[in-house]
Amino acid sequence: MLRKMSSFNDSAQALLFDPRELAPVYPESMITRPFPFNAFYDIDQVPDVDAHAYQLDLSGLVKGKRIWTLDELHALPQQGQVTRHICIEGWSAIGKWGGVRFSDFLLRAGADTTAKYVALHCADNYWTSIDMPTALHPQTLLTLTYDGDILPAKYGFPMKLRVPTKLGYKNPKHIVAISVTNEFPGGYWENQGYNWFGGS
């Protein structure tokens, strides 16, 4: 029953959600320090991803390049944002992230932007997925930095997808693979009952 309500919610929210609507942005003076850490494990279990061996694997409905190194991602045009992260557990915090606009990345990689979903798989076996309008939203950012420095391990080294129009659990850290698909990918928390649309 709850699951049915939640999937009804997903379609209702997709209709209500305006893909052009922007999340609020804040001055740097409002950044929350220290920014909180959260994951489905304690901070001493944070995955240790090797920067040199790292490759981002892009799969599914993609015509172009499928393997990306960190250097290649750093060489793309970079954007920044100061936005509020809202966790469903009842806290929120303002942070500053920098990286590649996700729509730029998807277009350069030749992703089929008529596909329904983008799934993001993480080094800690976490995963989540977003609808294509959210993937193409101008504030959805493939982040490589936090507060001007290389993204620290606790905040998702080497890469976190910052989606300021979505709740915290739809902001995956330690991304190792991305797939573009028409098959519903679900997510770690979503499959345990969290609403899939998860708009904030």
Q: Which residues bind ligand MTE (CB under 6 A)?
A: 36-40, 87, 122, 124, 126, 154-155, 168-169, 171-174
Rounded to a whole number of angstroms, the minimum distance from the CB of residue 38 to Mo ion is: 5
Report the alpha-carbon distance of residue 81 to residue 64 in Å, rounded: 28
Q: Does 164 bind Mo ion (CB under 5 A)?
A: no
The nearer residue to ligand MTE, 77 or 90, going by C-beta atoms, is 90
Cβ-contact 82, 25 below 8 angstroms: yes
Q: Which of 31, 62, 87, 150 binds Mo ion (CB under 5 A)?
A: 87
Q: Does 168 bind Mo ion (CB under 5 A)?
A: yes
The nearer residue to ligand MTE, 61 or 88, going by C-beta atoms, is 88
In the list ligand MTE, Mo ion, none, the entry touching 122 (Cβ below 5 to 8 angstroms by class) is ligand MTE
The nearer residue to ligand MTE, 60 or 168, going by C-beta atoms, is 168
Report the alpha-carbon distance of residue 38 to residue 36 in Å, rounded: 7
Q: What DSSP letter does each residue of 116-171 carry, written as one string?
A: SEEEEEETTS-EEEEEHHHHTSTT-EEEEEETTEEPPGGGTTT-EEE-TTB-GGGS
In the list ligand MTE, Mo ion, none, the entry touching 187 (Cβ below 5 to 8 angstroms by class) is none
Q: Based on the number of CB atoms within 10 Å of its own CB, is 113 exposed (0-12), middle (13-18) or buried (19 or more)?
A: middle
Cβ-contact 141, 102 below 8 angstroms: yes
The nearer residue to Mo ion, 169 or 196, going by C-beta atoms, is 169
State how far Cα 33 lies from the chain centre.
Answer: 21
In the list Mo ion, ligand MTE, none, the entry touching 174 (Cβ below 5 to 8 angstroms by class) is ligand MTE
* Residues in contact with Mo ion by the rule CB under 5 A: 87, 168-169
